[in-house]
Structure 1
Amino acid sequence: MNKIILGFTAAMGITMTGLMAQAQTSLTYLFPGPDFLPAFAPFQLALGKGYYSEEGLDVTFRIGNGGADVATQVAVGNADLGGGMGDTSMIVRANGLEVRGVAVLGGQGLTQLVWRNDSGITSIEEFAGHAIAVAGFQNTEFYNLRAALAVSGVNPDDVDIQSLGYGGIVQGMIAGSVSGMSGVPEWIVAIEDAGVELSVMPARDVFPAQAQAIIASDAYIAENPDAVRGFVSATLRAIHDIIDDPHQAAIDYVGFVDRHAENVDQVERIMRMYAELVYLQDGDRPIGAFDQAQLQTVQDFYAENEVINAVVPIEDVYTNDFVPD
């Protein structure tokens, strides 16, 4: 009898495992850049620690060619969700791509305004006459730099803004061929590791720069709200892991992304910088939630400076419906 019971129990276990596997919803997430970048650590942690699986999701990562490409692929259904910036949807939606942000990954902005301490610069007002690097002229870091200069009373035409690409921006800062940059935490740590002393000012100090965002099409949101909610919840859970213990998060991360296995100390410093400069909550607004007034300010600036060729209702560029309270 015991053998029969044990056999029945084992069979039921196999059946339940099969049903659970079948219950997993397949979801494709498209990164705007290489998936091994520490900027995408929350996603790798959520995948490696099983957070997506716990939400009933079978997540596959793919790599796109920048935020605009990701938005296009998501809009036409070639990817279920994708990564951009908090302002990506207002830029592409004006061009007919019906996508919106479903979570913004931090209460602060991603863009940091940085200058070499040996450049003579002591504030952004002194960028005039200096070479300042950006990765590209279609990137949010460039738009944020122009906005920060304008708000600070600096004519962008008086600044030698150079587009150097991701690798070139770090090399230029280390070599001293540029005095400053508009960039992200990973680049700051890489430059400092080369022995260059830097000053860092968040672009958010002068302009409502946005963090990274998860974007989805209106159609996917309507058809798969549970998948969107689960993906957002799992990703934000990983962000809280980084905030709560950057040291352990770095150890976990390099275990999942082994190309960084020899650089755990560097990764930890990057994690701490994200926790302090990007993920930090903004007032009572929970991490993940957009601020409509901030988005409106950004859109107004972009429209005035012809970054976008049309404006859309600001409530159409985001939703906070999937962000846990």
Structure 2
Amino acid sequence: MRWWLSALFIFPVLLPMAQAEVQDVTFLMPAPPNLPGFAPWIIAQQKGYYAQLGLRVNWVTAKGGVDVAKQVGAGNALFGAASGDVPIVVRAHGVPVRNVAVLGTHGYTLLATDAGQHIGAIEQLRGKTVTVMSYSDSLYYALLASLRKAGINKDEVNIQAAGPAGVWQLLAEGKADAMAGSPDWVVNAEEAGRTLQLIPQAQMFDGMAQSILASDDAIAHHPELVQKMVTATLMGLRDILQDPAQAAKTFAAAVPAYQGKEHKVEQILALYTQYVYGHQQQLGEIEPARVAQAVDFFSSEGIVKATLPTDDYFTNRFIGALPTQQP
């Protein structure tokens, strides 16, 4: 399949690639791969972690997490990034992908409100306008689950799908009262001049963070490539957790649009660390109880018509100790 060549985007690799025989692999991103939300992957690439393990990664943008899963399941790419909830949705429709690592302890959906509205609880969103990126994205599903947790029907809230830019711009312009979005968009809206307030995490549906997806075929027939992808990516995540200020500089060095904006990147990474990455006992490990909770929600909402055993949605076989020293 050559459909992705025109979208090819490769970050610079700084370290020599003589350590291992290099193999090209395609990795699908649900949005443009130069966003701070994808910092673990970008930093791993910039610092040469993939190259050290013998991977040359071609980053390709798909149309959201579900599209990533479908393309990976069809064999158009070996790997992809999506919300950890995505396999629950797509496996019900016969798409053979599962999570091989999850990058954090919490879902990456933040519910940000216009501070001037003094909305401190989800119950106060009745009759309010809330933006989401789309009606088929995991951020939207996380909003629905959080509303349900608070006893609110989705029809009691004016939910508007505004796209990846409009989702935060409408809030920044005062045309929406709240936004279900990523930490990147929270910082964007505040940078545009709107003071925001975050709904406490305890009120939110605790979904799953971003994950690395691989097909059943890749797991069965190319486990060494899956292992390399997981290990290198988690090394990038580890760098963020150990030194976010330096991680922001590394990110900005990799993405020219953010050069000179290291402070903004550091702000975004701080939100990810606090609300998404958290403190995993073992980086990348997927918690069965978290998966089961998500399965119950998607099933009860009718988003999926059939469910599978919890273990069918993920594997932790590639999770383990990372190299103690960076290459």
Question: TM-score with structure 1 length normalisation?
Answer: 0.90
Question: What residue is the counterpart of 2:244 in the other structure?
Answer: 246
Asked if structure 2 preserves the Cα contact closer than 8 Å seen for 1:102 and 1:232, the reply is yes
Question: What residue is the counterpart of 1:73 in the other structure?
Answer: 71
Within the candidate set 197, 200, 204, 1:199 is matched to 197
Amino-acid identity (%): 37
SS at match of 2:272: helix
Asked if structure 2 preserves the Cα contact closer than 8 Å seen for 1:105 and 1:213, the reply is yes
Give the 5 Å matches for 1:206-225. 206-225=204-223
SS at match of 1:312: coil
Question: Could you tell me which amino acid in structure 2 is paired with residue 170 of structure 1?
Answer: W
Within the candidate set 33, 38, 46, 2:44 is matched to 46
Question: What residue is the counterpart of 2:310 in the other structure?
Answer: 314
RMSD: 1.7
SS at match of 1:275: helix
Question: What residue is the counterpart of 1:103 in the other structure?
Answer: 101
Cα distance change, pair 322–207 in 1 and its aligned pair in 2 (3 A)? same
SS at match of 2:263: helix
Structure 2's unaligned 5+ residue stretches are 1-15, 322-327
Question: What residue is the counterpart of 2:300 in the other structure?
Answer: 304
Question: Could you tell me which amino acid in structure 2 is paired with residue 220 of structure 1?
Answer: A
Structure 1's unaligned 5+ residue stretches are 1-16
Asked if structure 1 preserves the Cα contact closer than 8 Å seen for 2:107 and 2:208, the reply is yes
Per-residue deviation at 1:136? 0.7
Cα distance change, pair 204–46 in 1 and its aligned pair in 2 (3 A)? farther
Asked if structure 1 preserves the Cα contact closer than 8 Å seen for 2:108 and 2:209, the reply is yes
SS at match of 1:298: helix
2: CA distance, partners of 1:201 / 1:319: 32
Question: Could you tell me which amino acid in structure 2 is paired with residue 52 of structure 1?
Answer: Y
Question: Could you tell me which amino acid in structure 1 is paired with residue 285 of structure 2?
Answer: A
Per-residue deviation at 1:246? 1.0
Per-residue deviation at 1:205? 4.4
Asked if structure 1 preserves the Cα contact closer than 8 Å seen for 2:84 and 2:102, the reply is yes
When the two structures are aligned, how many residues end up with a matched partner?
A: 306
SS at match of 2:259: helix
Question: What residue is the counterpart of 1:170 in the other structure?
Answer: 168
Question: What residue is the counterpart of 1:117 in the other structure?
Answer: 115
Per-residue deviation at 1:24? 2.0
Structure with bigger helix share is: 1
Per-residue deviation at 1:47? 0.9
Cα distance change, pair 19–137 in 1 and its aligned pair in 2 (3 A)? closer
Specify the structure having the higher radius of gyration (Cα).
Answer: 1
Moved over 6 A (4+): none
Per-residue deviation at 1:208? 2.3
Per-residue deviation at 1:65? 1.5
Asked if structure 2 preserves the Cα contact closer than 8 Å seen for 1:115 and 1:179, the reply is yes
Question: What residue is the counterpart of 1:83 in the other structure?
Answer: 81
Asked if structure 2 preserves the Cα contact closer than 8 Å seen for 1:111 and 1:184, the reply is yes
Question: Could you tell me which amino acid in structure 1 is paired with residue 273 of structure 2?
Answer: A
Give the 5 Å matches for 1:29-44. 29-44=27-42
Question: What residue is the counterpart of 1:292 in the other structure?
Answer: 288
Q: Which stretch of the first structure deviates more once superposed, 64-73 or 131-140? A: 64-73
Asked if structure 2 preserves the Cα contact closer than 8 Å seen for 1:202 and 1:277, the reply is no
Question: Could you tell me which amino acid in structure 2 is paired with residue 270 of structure 1?
Answer: I
Question: TM-score with structure 2 length normalisation?
Answer: 0.90
Spell out, residue by residue over 1:130-173, the C-alpha distance to the aligned partner (whole angstroms, 9 max, x if none). 11111111011111111111111222211111111111111110
2: CA distance, partners of 1:107 / 1:276: 10
